[in-house]
Amino acid sequence: MKSKTTAAILAFFLGGIGIHKFYLGQSIQGIFYILFCWTFIPAILAFFQFFGLIFMSDHSFNVKYNNGF
């Protein structure tokens, strides 16, 4: 079961290379983050995703990433 806190921490510290995407099971997006990390665009996206994860309710996170559990 994936943790919202862990995903947010990964997005903040390692989001520029897409580690949070791999953790959340979105491997294709994670690969794109790695391929384009030199542009810093993935780092900017990860920064906003960090806040999206922080402010997302536990229920919404579980429905989206933990198959509703």
- At 3 the pLDDT is 97
pLDDT at res. 13: 98
pLDDT for res 37: 97
On whether the CB atoms of residues 44 and 16 are closer than 8 A, the answer is: no
Q: Exposure of 57 by Cβ count < 10 A (0-12 exposed, 13-18 middle, 19+ buried)?
A: exposed
Distance between CA atoms of 25 and 1, rounded to whole angstroms?
11
In the chain, which stretches have pLDDT less than 70?
Answer: none
How much is the pLDDT for 23? Answer: 98
Q: How many CB atoms lie within 10 A of CB 6?
A: 13
Do 15 and 23 touch, CB atoms closer than 8 A? no
| pLDDT score, position 69 | 74
